[in-house]
């Protein structure tokens, strides 16, 4: 039977639909304590004293820790994109000497109930000497912790990616186009807040933390190292996970604290953050300024491209190191040839919540920058924006295409793609000329309506390797054990489909294990749109191994024994999905409201294992992207106080704001790098949303190039309307 390519219903859903899910907050252990953090209420300051005496007197409070109580725990290490000199900027699990953002954990309270722990946390008094906060990556770098780390500048790193002869390109340029654009500070906001339940079992000597996500194996190794335990005596386990999008599942201070507390207080310790804390304490993302400069010929063909990027990294360098800025710099050229290039990314620390990755990190920003630039080039030359893009697209014949830069430890080599073909397919789908004519007519009738288009290249399938073990028992039940993690994307279903296709057993007989460090010794988890590619191919390899064993052994010999096989998949290079977003928007001049009338995601992912799930990824991504383009932003006052700390201020799209997302999913460019031909589908839905909405707004406003900053909030739109009047 055929399983791959079929929109099979999800194996995950029955439990989730009937209220039998097991999210971390649903778990409890006998005699558990509850942790609550005391967080800094100032953006930057030196800690003078922390008075916990009154809080300690509250009945039911078991312990209160400050940095002095856990000073032997090293700072949280950098998981990705470590460049030299970053170590000094890492975050300790409780603030040491200084606080660097509102929300910085300064003390941890452990009490008999969650309500009590919160009461006690309110009674902890922190005396902090305020220092002037730095609230912009465009400000001159200052001191990170002046007295503790003299000389440590808040410019943590400057990255450069370059190739080709820029000077020669400028010398023969027809004209030069310059542009400054900015993307606001966003975060992923999974609907489930973070949480953990840690328990130490003296009988086995094993420390177990439930509530893991994303990268359980890596985090297991880190927790073990930080708490000085052998790796195999620490287990990280995930249950159901209420969304990830890059933010959940990184190793945060709270994870380490609950583990240490379980060891030291000899009772299980549970922590579930509230939403206010989540918005202050979980990673933020985006918040980049791009200063672009392009040398072009008469047709708009880019001869050289330069970008100075200013990335607001927030208070500390967390697990992602300089990943987001690095990806922005590496992926900026996108689908265009760009023979000469230089990007310089300034990674600067400020006094905001530390930043990390959020779905399509660095690409949401750089696609916005690049596609705004393409529109600016077209405008300056008086040419059609689509024509200018066509002239620059990398031709199919040039694939595989060496981009000339590295990121995440690998060379960026586009594996496959027919960019021009997808553009033609999208224009056909849109009935582009007819749609343009309709919009012209509507504008002539007084409506402020416009169409915008933006191209992108994504990346997926980050290596280096993944492992799967498949076994079949005497009853014919199949168990697939993976080192992947689920963040709600449907991996059980997809892995079961891949296994079923190879073994030819019904999906209902397959159980998929993920997110358990006690079941498999190797796992890379779920990030960078890697699971379907990497884990999927490992599952295929293991299933093939098992099939061969089954064929080799006579039926009567295997009737009462279990058989198993192990499979690996290794990849030195990522692969590169690509696509185009198109948006039709209407502006209401009186209310400064923006209506997204139509939104189309065209994307080629090589091969869709489950088209229904792929479309689900694109729809969800597009709506998050629309949120970032129009509504979502962490705003601060000049002293560093965050002004968006509830859902009343950090505004996300609801069903009323978004149209039905139209989808054009193609399979014209399977990846030659893996046996399934698949590429990741997690991030193509969001990548170009900011860019497409901006272009549509320009046209609606009749002001080409008007939108240079996201999100386009009503206030910003009001200014643009006033300027146009």
Partner 1 sequence: MNAKTAITLTVNGRRYDIAVEPRRNLADALREDCGLTGTHVGCEHGVCGACTVLVDGKPVRACLMFAVQARGKAIRTVEGLATAGKSGEELHPLQQAFWEHHGLQCGFCTPGFLMLAAGVLEADPDISDEEMRHVLSSNLCRCTGYQNIVKAVRAAAAQMKLK
Please answer whether residues 80 and 323 qualify as being in contact, where contact means their C-beta atoms are separated by less than 8 angstroms: yes
Could you tell me the smallest distance in angstroms from the CB atom of residue 711 to partner 1?
17
Nearer to partner 1 by Cβ, of 438 and 657: the residue is 657
Among the candidate windows 21-29, 151-159, 316-324, 448-456, which touches partner 1 by CB under 8 A? Answer: 21-29
**CB within 8 Å of 580: residues ≥ 6 apart:** 422, 423, 426, 453, 454, 455, 456, 602, 603, 688
14 binds partner 1 (CB under 8 A): yes
Which of 241, 330, 505, 584 is the binder for partner 1 (CB under 8 A)?
A: 241
Q: Residue 586 CB, nearest distance to partner 1 (Å)?
A: 17
Structure tokens at 710: 């996201």
**Interface with partner 1, residue 683, by CB under 8 A:** no
Q: Of the ranges 35-43, 115-123, 162-170, 175-183, which one interacts with partner 1 (CB under 8 A)?
A: 115-123
Q: Is 488 in the site for partner 1 (CB under 8 A)?
A: yes
C-beta closer to partner 1: residue 192 or 307: 192
Q: How far is the CB of 382 from partner 1 (least distance, A)?
A: 37
Beta carbons of 391 and 300 less than 8 angstroms apart:
yes
Residue (of 546, 710, 722, 529) closest to 631 by Cα position: 710
Least gap, CB of 618 to partner 1 (angstroms): 8
Cα distance between residue 574 and residue 577, in whole Å: 10
Which residues neighbour 1 within 8 Å (Cβ) at sequence distance 6 or greater?
A: 500, 504
Tokens encoding 357: 């990755």
* Closest distance of CB 610 from partner 1, Å: 9
Give the number of other CB atoms < 10 A from CB of residue 171. 11
Residue from the set 31, 87, 97, 115 that interacts with partner 1 by CB under 8 A: 115
Cβ atoms of 413 and 403 within 8 Å: the answer is: yes
Q: Can you give the length of the chain in residues?
A: 725
Residue 23 binds partner 1, judged by CB under 8 A: yes
**Among 249, 333, 461, 620, which residue interacts with partner 1 (rule: CB under 8 A)?**
620
Query: How many H helices and E strands in the chain?
Result: 17, 26
- Please, which residue, 250 or 699, has the CB nearer to partner 1? 250
DSSP code at position 232: G
Judged by CB under 8 A, which of 3, 12, 280, 378 binds partner 1?
A: 12
CA separation for the pair 350, 178 (Å, rounded):
27
Sole binder of partner 1 in the list 3, 4, 25, 565 (CB under 8 A): 25
- Phi and psi at 662, nearest 5°, equal -90, 145
**In terms of CB distance, is 178 or 649 closer to partner 1?**
649
* Buried/exposed code over 521-556 (b: 16+ C-beta within 10 A; e: otherwise): eebbbbbbbbbbbbbbbbbbbbbbbbbeeeeeeeee
Residue choice 5, 26, 206, 667 for contact with partner 1 (CB under 8 A) = 26
* Residues 250-309 close enough to bind partner 1 by CB under 8 A: 274-276
* Whether the Cβ atoms of residue 580 and residue 455 lie closer than 8 Å to each other: yes
18 binds partner 1 (CB under 8 A): yes
* Whole-number Å distance between alpha carbons of 480 and 495: 8
Q: What is residue 309's three-state secondary structure?
A: strand
Choice between 491 and 533, CB closer to partner 1: 491
CB 679 within 8 A of CB 416: no
Q: How far is Cα 308 from Cα 310, in angstroms, rounded to an integer?
A: 7
CB of 14 to partner 1, least distance (A): 7
Shortest distance, position 407 Cβ to partner 1, whole Å: 27
Contact 188, 217 (CB under 8 A): no
Q: Give CA–CA dist 529/460, Å, rounded.
A: 5
Residue 10, Cβ neighbours under 10 Å: how many? 17
Q: Which stretch binds partner 1 (CB under 8 A): 114-122, 334-342, 366-374, 460-468?
A: 114-122
**Closest residue by Cα to residue 452 from 336, 626, 620:** 626
Contact region with partner 1 (CB under 8 A), list: 385-393, 448-456, 484-492, 525-533: 484-492
User: Going by DSSP bridges, is the β-strand pair 155-163/341-349 parallel, antiparallel, or unpaired?
Assistant: antiparallel
* First CA to last CA distance, the chain: 63
Counting contacts by CB under 8 A, is residue 655 touching partner 1? yes
**Helix, strand, coil shares of the chain as percentages rounded to 5?**
30, 30, 40
Closest contact distance (angstroms) between CB of 510 and partner 1 is 18
Q: Pick the closer one to partner 1 by CB: 142 or 628.
A: 628
Q: Which residue's CB is nearer to partner 1, number 15 or number 474?
A: 15
Describe the crossing of helices 491-503 and 536-552 by its angle, rounded to 10 degrees: 30
Taking the least distance from each CB to partner 1, the nearer of 110 and 414 is 110
With CB under 8 A as the contact rule, the residue among 95, 116, 349, 462 that binds partner 1 is 116
- For residue 170, the Cα-to-chain-centroid distance in whole angstroms is 36
Helix (H, G, I), strand (E, B) or coil at 507: helix
- Name which position in 1, 19, 84, 203 contacts partner 1 (CB under 8 A): 19
Binding to partner 1 by residue 54, rule CB under 8 A? Answer: no
Binding to partner 1 by residue 490, rule CB under 8 A?
yes
Task: Report the residue from 463, 545, 577, 621 that binds partner 1 according to the rule CB under 8 A.
Answer: 621
| Tokens matching residue 251 | 């190793």
Q: Among residues 15 and 635, whose Cβ is nearest to partner 1?
A: 15
How many residues line the site for partner 1 (CB under 8 A)?
60
Q: Which CB atom, from 119 or from 221, has the smaller least distance to partner 1?
A: 119
Binding mask 590-619 for partner 1 (x = CB under 8 A): ----------------------xx--x--x
- ω into 711 cis (within 30 of 0): yes
Tell me the sheet residues that pair with 601.
581, 663
Least CB distance to partner 1 at residue 23 (A):
6
Binding to partner 1 by CB under 8 A, coded x per residue (else -) over 186-215, reads: --xxxxxx----------------------
Q: Which stretch binds partner 1 (CB under 8 A): 220-228, 231-239, 336-344, 622-630?
A: 622-630
Applying CB under 8 A, the residues found at the interface with partner 1 are 9-10, 12-23, 25-26, 115-116, 119, 188-193, 240-245, 274-276, 487-490, 612-613, 616, 619-624, 646-648, 652-658, 660-661, 685
């Amino acid at each position: 039977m055929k399983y791959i390519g079929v929109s099979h219903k999800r194996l995950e859903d029955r439990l989730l639909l009937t209220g039998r899910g097991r999210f971390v907050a649903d778990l409890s252990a006998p005699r558990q304590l509850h942790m609550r953090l005391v967080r800094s209420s100032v953006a930057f300051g030196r800690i003078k004293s922390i008075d916990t005496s009154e809080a300690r007197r509250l009945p039911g409070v078991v312990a209160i820790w400050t940095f002095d109580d856990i000073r032997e725990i090293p700072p949280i290490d950098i998981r990705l994109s470590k460049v030299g000199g970053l170590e000094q900027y890492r975050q300790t699990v409780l603030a040491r000497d200084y606080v660097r953002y509102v929300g910085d954990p300064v003390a941890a309270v452990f009490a008999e109930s969650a309500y009590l722990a919160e009461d006690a946390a309110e009674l902890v008094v922190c005396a902090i000497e305020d220092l002037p906060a730095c609230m912009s990556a465009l400000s001159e770098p200052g001191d990170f912790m002046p007295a503790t780390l003299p000389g440590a500048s808040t410019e943590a790193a400057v990255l450069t990616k370059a190739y080709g002869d820029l000077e020669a390109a400028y010398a023969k340029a027809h004209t030069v186009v310059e542009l400054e654009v900015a993307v606001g500070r966003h975060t992923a906001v999974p609907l489930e807040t973070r949480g953990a339940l840690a328990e130490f079992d003296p009988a086995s000597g094993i420390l177990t933390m439930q509530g893991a996500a994303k990268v359980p194996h890596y985090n297991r190794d880190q927790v073990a190292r930080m708490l000085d335990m052998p790796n195999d005596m620490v287990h990280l386990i995930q249950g159901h996970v209420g969304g990830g999008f890059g933010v959940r599942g990184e190793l945060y201070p709270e994870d380490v604290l609950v583990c240490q507390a379980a060891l030291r207080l000899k009772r299980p310790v549970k922590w579930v953050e509230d939403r206010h804390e989540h918005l202050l304490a979980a990673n933020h993302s985006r918040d980049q300024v791009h200063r672009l400069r392009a040398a072009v010929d008469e047709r708009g063909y880019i001869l050289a491209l330069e970008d100075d990027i200013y990335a607001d990294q927030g208070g500390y360098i967390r697990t992602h190191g300089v990943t987001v800025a690095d990806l922005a710099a590496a992926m900026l050229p996108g689908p265009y040839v760009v023979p000469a290039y230089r990007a310089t990314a300034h990674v600067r620390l400020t006094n905001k919540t530390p930043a990390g990755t959020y779905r399509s990190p660095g690409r949401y920003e750089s696609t916005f920058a690049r596609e705004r630039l393409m529109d600016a080039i077209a405008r300056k030359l008086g040419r059609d924006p689509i024509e200018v893009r066509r002239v620059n697209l990398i031709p199919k014949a040039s694939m595989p295409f060496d981009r000339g830069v590295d990121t995440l430890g690998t060379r960026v080599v586009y594996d496959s793609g027919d960019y021009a073909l997808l553009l033609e397919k999208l224009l056909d789908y849109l009935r582009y000329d007819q749609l343009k004519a309709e919009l012209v007519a509507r504008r002539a009738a007084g409506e402020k309506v416009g169409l915008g288009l933006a191209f992108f290249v994504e990346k997926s399938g980050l290596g280096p390797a993944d492992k799967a073990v498949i076994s079949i028992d005497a009853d014919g039940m199949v168990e697939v054990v993976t080192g992947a993690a689920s963040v709600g994307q449907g991996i059980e279903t997809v892995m079961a489909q891949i296994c079923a296709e190879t073994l030819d057993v019904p999906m209902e007989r397959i159980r998929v294990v993920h997110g358990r460090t006690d079941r498999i010794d190797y796992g890379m988890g779920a990030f960078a749109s890697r699971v379907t590619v990497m884990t999927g191919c490992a599952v295929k390899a293991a299933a093939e191994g098992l099939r061969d064993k089954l064929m080799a052994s006579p039926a009567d010999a295997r009737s009462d024994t279990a058989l198993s096989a192990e499979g690996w998949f290794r990849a030195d290079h990522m692969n590169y999905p690509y696509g185009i977003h198109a948006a039709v928007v209407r502006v209401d001049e009186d209310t400064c409201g923006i209506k997204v009338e139509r939104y189309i995601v065209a994307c080629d992912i090589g091969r869709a294992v489950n088209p229904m799930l792929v479309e689900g990824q694109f729809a969800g991504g597009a709506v998050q992207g629309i949120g970032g383009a129009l509504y979502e932003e962490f705003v601060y006052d000049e002293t560093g106080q965050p002004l968006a700390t509830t859902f009343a201020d950090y505004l996300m799209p609801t069903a009323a704001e978004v149209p039905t997302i139209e989808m054009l999913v193609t399979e014209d460019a399977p990846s030659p790098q893996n046996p399934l031909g698949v590429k990741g589908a997690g991030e193509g839905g969001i990548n170009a949303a900011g860019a497409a909405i901006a272009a549509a707004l320009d046209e609606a406003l009749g002001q080409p190039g008007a939108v240079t900053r996201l999100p386009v909030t009503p206030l910003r739109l009001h200014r643009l309307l006033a300027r146009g009047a």
